Amino acid sequence: MSNSGLAGGVVTVDSMGRALAAARAAAGRGEVPVGALVLDAGGRILAIRGNEVEARCDAAAHAELLAMREAAGRLGDARLTGCTVVVTLEPCPMCAAAMVHFRVRRVVFGAYDPKGGGVEHGPRIFEQPRCLHRPEVVGGVRAGESAVLLRGFFGGLRGR
């Protein structure tokens, strides 16, 4: 457990910096470079994870879903009430819908994802009329750094 850099309820760049570091580490393992962490209501980090789709042969092993599952396990509660998820890329519909199930209080994300995103794009999960829980959303935090990582990764793949 370490302090995340929360001050007065505002998630500082430090949290996103840690998520970006997890994204870089994921790229180093051949994974799509996305990183995520979960902060509890007091700003302590409960879990930090990067994508592990390849390593686990698990298409659902997205960074933010892994981090939420780990954080909930640590709390011994299937709900992450009061918690914040910080993730370097706009969550996909699967991860956004998982945030509803986990009752996440707030989502802070980096780069917007017009093709695969599910928060500000596509099905806009939190805006669905039947959505049972709507986390607060802050998008675009250090988006440029996340986008550079993703472009570098997919550019490298195309070059292979």
Among 39-47, 99-107, 135-143, 147-155, which window interacts with its own copies (CB under 8 A)? 99-107
Tell me if residue 64 is catalytic. Answer: yes
| The one catalytic residue among 31, 52, 64, 145 | 64
Distance (Å, whole) CA 11 – CA 4: 8
92 is in an annotated binding site: yes
Euclidean distance between CA atoms 90 and 120, whole angstroms: 8
- Show contacts with its own copies in window 18-77 (CB under 8 A): 53-54, 56-61, 65, 68-69, 72-73, 75-77
The verdict on 125 binding its own copies (CB under 8 A) reads yes
86 in contact with its own copies (CB under 8 A): no
* Smallest gap from residue 82 Cβ to its own copies (A): 15
Q: Quote the strand ranges of the chain, DSSP E.
A: 35-39, 45-50, 84-89, 106-111, 136-138
**Closest to 35 (Cα-Cα) out of 21, 47, 46, 15:** 21
Q: Rounded to whole angstroms, how far apart are CA atoms 12 and 134?
A: 22
Known binding residues for Zn(2+) are 62, 92, 95
